[in-house]
Structure 1
Amino acid sequence: MAHIELDDTVPGLPSLLRFRPETAGPLTALAEALLRGPSPLERGERELIAAYVSELNGCRFCASSHGACAAVQLPGGMSLVEAVHADLAAAPVSGRLRTLLGIAAAVQRGGREVGDPHIAAARGAGATDVEIHDTVLIAAAFCMYNRYVDGLATGVPSDPAAYARMAERITAHGYGAAR
């Protein structure tokens, strides 16, 4: 049960966006810019970064919803997402994406955890400065989103298929459609 009075029929972040419309616009715009706006990273890669950080933070709603969004946009689908969550080192992703996910994991532990070896590895794997920047910003933002969702104990869907439906809507229409 949520710590504040939310619509129990709306899970996760969307329930908070409806509760406080004044903050919904900026939070939704940030997600839209980070995950769907211009970037050298593919949308699916950005969703995977968000899902991975959310998994590391133990945020069920965000890990599942962004995992579903990544799955519909990346070859390998949900199997790939699950492999990254289970063991990044063994997951079938490119070296570039693996190093970026490593940077995201460092950000999840704390911003100062990102060090020169992370950046050198990413650059060595072909990551650009913009890709490194976007990875750090997505990881930092999802630490905030995760803490917002879990800090108010929002609900999670009882039906796992709900995440696939959310992913279809979001990938087709954007984050404004998720509210």
Structure 2
Amino acid sequence: MPHIALNNDLPGIIGLMVHRPDTGGPLGDLANALLRAPSSLEPGERELIAAYVSRLNGTEFCASSHGAFAASQLAGGRELVRDVLADPGTAPISGRLRALLGVAEEVRIAARPVSGRAIAAARAEGADDTDLHDTILIAAAFCMYNRYVSGLATELPKDDEYYEHATRRIVTDGYRAGIVQGD
């Protein structure tokens, strides 16, 4: 049961965004900019970074939803996402993405500069300044989103069909303002 009374029965961050559209709108816009706008990283890769950080933070709603969004946009689908969330070191992903997940993990651990070792490893695998910027911002933002969702003890969806419906909506329309209205 959430720590605050919500004016809807929607799960996770969606319930919070619908409850407070004044803050939900900007949070949705930020997610859209980070995960859907043009970038050197593919949308599926960015969703995977968000899912990975969320899994490390123990935020099941965000790990499951962004994992589903990533799976629908990456070759390898659910199996690949499962493998990455279990151990990116052995998952069948590019060295670049593996190194960027290492950068994201460092961001998640503490608010301090990412190690030169992690940056050098990412650059050695072909990551450029935009890749590093976007990875670090996604990881930092998802630490905030995860704390928001977990801190208020939001509920999980009643079944996995929620994630399938949300995946179709996000992949088609992105994190649009209509999400804040609960549609």
Q: What percent identity do the matched residue pairs reach?
A: 59
Are 2:45 and 1:27 aligned? Answer: no
Are the counterparts in 2 of residues 169 and 178 from structure 1 also a CA contact under 8 Å? no
Number of matched residues? 179
Deviation at 1:128, TM superposition (A): 0.5
Are 2:133 and 1:133 aligned? Answer: yes
- Provide the rounded CA distance (Å) in 1 between the counterparts of 2:76 and 2:6: 36
Partner of 1:148: 148
Deviation at 1:9, TM superposition (A): 2.5
- Provide the rounded CA distance (Å) in 1 between the counterparts of 2:179 and 2:160: 16
Please give the secondary structure, in 1, of the residue aligned with 2:112: helix
TM-score norm. by structure 1 comes to 0.97
Are the counterparts in 2 of residues 170 and 178 from structure 1 also a CA contact under 8 Å? no
- Provide the rounded CA distance (Å) in 1 between the counterparts of 2:8 and 2:79: 30
Partner of 2:4: 4
- Provide the rounded CA distance (Å) in 1 between the counterparts of 2:179 and 2:55: 20
- Provide the rounded CA distance (Å) in 2 between the counterparts of 1:7 and 1:164: 24
Counterpart amino acid of residue 133 in structure 2:
H
Please give the secondary structure, in 1, of the residue aligned with 2:29: helix
Partner of 2:171: 171
Partner of 1:69: 69
Map Cα deviations across residues 96-144 of structure 1 (whole Å, 9 max, x no partner): 0000000001111013262000000000000011000000000000000
- Provide the rounded CA distance (Å) in 1 between the counterparts of 2:94 and 2:12: 31
Deviation at 1:8, TM superposition (A): 5.3
Are the counterparts in 2 of residues 2 and 153 from structure 1 also a CA contact under 8 Å? yes
Partner of 2:57: 57
Deviation at 1:161, TM superposition (A): 2.3
Gaps of 5+ in 2: none
Please give the secondary structure, in 2, of the residue aligned with 1:175: coil
Runs of 4+ in 1 over 2 A off after TM superposition: none
Higher helix share: 1
* Structure 1 residues 87 and 113, CA gap change in structure 2 (3 angstroms): farther
Gaps of 5+ in 1: none
Structure 1 window deviating more from structure 2 (36-45 vs 6-15): it is 6-15
TM-score norm. by structure 2 comes to 0.95
- Provide the rounded CA distance (Å) in 1 between the counterparts of 2:51 and 2:118: 20
Please give the secondary structure, in 2, of the residue aligned with 1:155: coil
Partner of 1:161: 161
- Provide the rounded CA distance (Å) in 2 between the counterparts of 1:121 and 1:49: 17
Deviation at 1:7, TM superposition (A): 4.3
- Provide the rounded CA distance (Å) in 2 between the counterparts of 1:110 and 1:129: 21
Partner of 1:80: 80
